[in-house]
Each structure stands twice: as C-alpha cells, then as structure tokens.
Amino acid sequence: MAEKRNNRDTEVREMAERPKQWRPPELLPEPDKEEGFEYRWIRVSTLNTPDPRNLSSKLREGWEPVRIEEQPKFKLLVDPDGRFKDNIEIGGLLLCKIPEEFVQQEQEYYAKQTKDQTEAVDNNLMRQSDARMPIFKESKSTVTVGR
C-alpha cells in the first residue's frame, strides 16, 4: 500500500542566506545618476585651506555644482558650516556635474594631444636614424602554403 505523503506546498525550506557582515563606510557616497550627465567630486580645499585655483579651473571647463535639491539623499551628510550652503560639499570636495558631450570632447582632445606628441617624438627619433644602421627595421614576412 502507498504511504501517505505531505504536499510539497506545505513543506517550508529556509532560504540559505549569507550572514550579513560589517564593512567600512564609503569615503564618498555615489550620487544618483541623471541621464546625460557625468558626476565628479571636485577639490575645493585641502586641510581646511581653500583651493580656489582648482575650483575656478573646473568651473571654466564646464563643471556645475550640484544643488542639494537635486540629490536629497545627501541632506544629512552635508556640513552645515560649509562654504557652499546650497551645494553638496563633503570633506573639502564639492559634487559637480557636466554634460556627457563635454567629457567626450575632453577625451578626444587629450587623445589627439597624445597622438600628436607621439608622432613628434617618433619623427624626431627617425630623423637621427641612419640607413646603414636603422633604429627601426621594418620587416615584412609572408606565409605561403604548399602547392
């Protein structure tokens, strides 16, 4: 005779859950991303000494300080005695954003600078090359398969 079995729906199996572990806090929290913008923490002071030159150059590049209303999760983290009352400043760093197109243009600009400088160094080096003892020996090899 068949033995009576319990319905599997009535059986409860505990979920195998990993134990929660402590981990150190992040130094700078990650902002909620807005479509079309890149975010970066910009230095405004070092050891409580203001750094207006760095901030000024970043603002001229197109970085805009993020207002506290745009990132409400930072309200409790912001220093109430900070110099930037309406913006997000943590530990001498100011959260700023810039359109992604500007970041792409900056990367293209520096890639071109690097390419031009590399070509200039190569041309200068090749100018010193002698045909009897070349610095670079361009060799071409071919592979042939049997007939």
> Which of 52-56, 68-72, 112-116 has the weakest average pLDDT?
68-72
Which one has a higher pLDDT value, 82 or 54? 54
**H-helix or E-strand spanning residue 89:** strand 89-90
Most confident of 9-23, 58-72, 79-93, 121-135: 58-72
Retrieve residue 26's tokens. 């992040």
Give the C-alpha separation, 68 to 78, whole Å: 9
* Strand ranges, E, within 7-78: 37-43, 45-46, 49-50, 64-65
* Between 106 and 141, the higher pLDDT residue: 106
Residue 109's pLDDT is 93
Q: What is the pLDDT of residue 26?
A: 75
pTM of the predicted model, to two decimals?
0.62
The mean per-residue pLDDT over the stretch 13-21 comes to 68
Mean pLDDT calculated for residue range 130-141: 66
